[in-house]
Each structure stands twice: as C-alpha cells, then as structure tokens.
Amino acid sequence: ILNVEQSPQSLHVQEGDSTNFTCSFPSSNFYALHWYRWETAKSPEALFVMTLNGDEKKKGRISATLNTKEGYSYLYIKGSQPEDSATYLCARGGGADGLTFGKGTHLIIQP
C-alpha cells in the first residue's frame, strides 16, 4: 500500500446500530496514526493519535485500534447517534511529509 486508503467511502447506518470502518496505510517508516472527525462546513478535529502496535484508544462511544505490522486501523462507533454523522479522516505520520491523509469515510446516521 503506497497511500492511505479508507473504506468504505460512505456508510449509512441506522441510529442505535454500531459500525466500524478501516484505514490502511504503508507500514514502513511509520510514526503515528491519527483519526479526525470532520463535520460539514467545519474544520477537522482530532479524535485520536496512536503510535504503538496494538494501541487502543477510546472516547465515549468511539474507539480505535492500531496494527502497525500489517498497516491498518479500525474506528468503531457503538450505538450510533445522529450527531455522529460526519466524515472520519485518518492520517499517517511518517517520513518527511508530515501527515498523509486518506479521503475519509462519510458516515450518515439515519434516525
């Protein structure tokens, strides 16, 4: 994997259901994996930064895991609420370019 890739591109989830999506990234020269939450007409806001293989972070109903050896991270949302609707960006830190962003997963929670 040469770039940061996120899947799926978009996701519709029923309110109350749990969901997850994936960020895949080059595992060489890895420094950190960032997750951002980006609401429409606003700027991206940081959710998590993870650096170690096996890291797990949690903030309320949202959690993330990291596998640096195989180059992926999962973001989980438990019991989705309408306010969770946003685009979730992951970014890989490593090398000389700072953060390399994926194109995001656009999440829509349907009441």
Partner 1 sequence: DAGVIQSPRHEVTEMGQEVTLRCKPISGHDYLFWYRQTMMRGLELLIYFNNNVPIDDSGMPEDRFSAKMPNASFSTLKIQPSEPRDSAVYFCASNRQFQETQYFGPGTRLLVL
Sites of contact with partner 1 (CB under 8 A): 31-32, 34, 42-46, 49, 89, 93-94, 96-104
CB atoms within 10 A of CB 80: 22
Q: Which is nearer to partner 1, 34 or 64 (CB)?
A: 34
Q: Which is nearer to partner 1, 2 or 111 (CB)?
A: 2
What are phi and psi for residue 97, nearest 5 degrees?
-100, 10
Tell me how far, at minimum, the Cβ of 14 lies from partner 1, in Å. Answer: 26
Tell me how far, at minimum, the Cβ of 75 lies from partner 1, in Å. Answer: 16
Is residue 34 within 8 Å of 46, Cβ to Cβ?
Answer: yes
The whole-angstrom separation of Cα 8 and Cα 31 is: 24
Residue 101 belongs to what H/E stretch? strand 99-101
Tell me how far, at minimum, the Cβ of 93 lies from partner 1, in Å. Answer: 4
Q: Which is nearer to partner 1, 48 or 80 (CB)?
A: 48
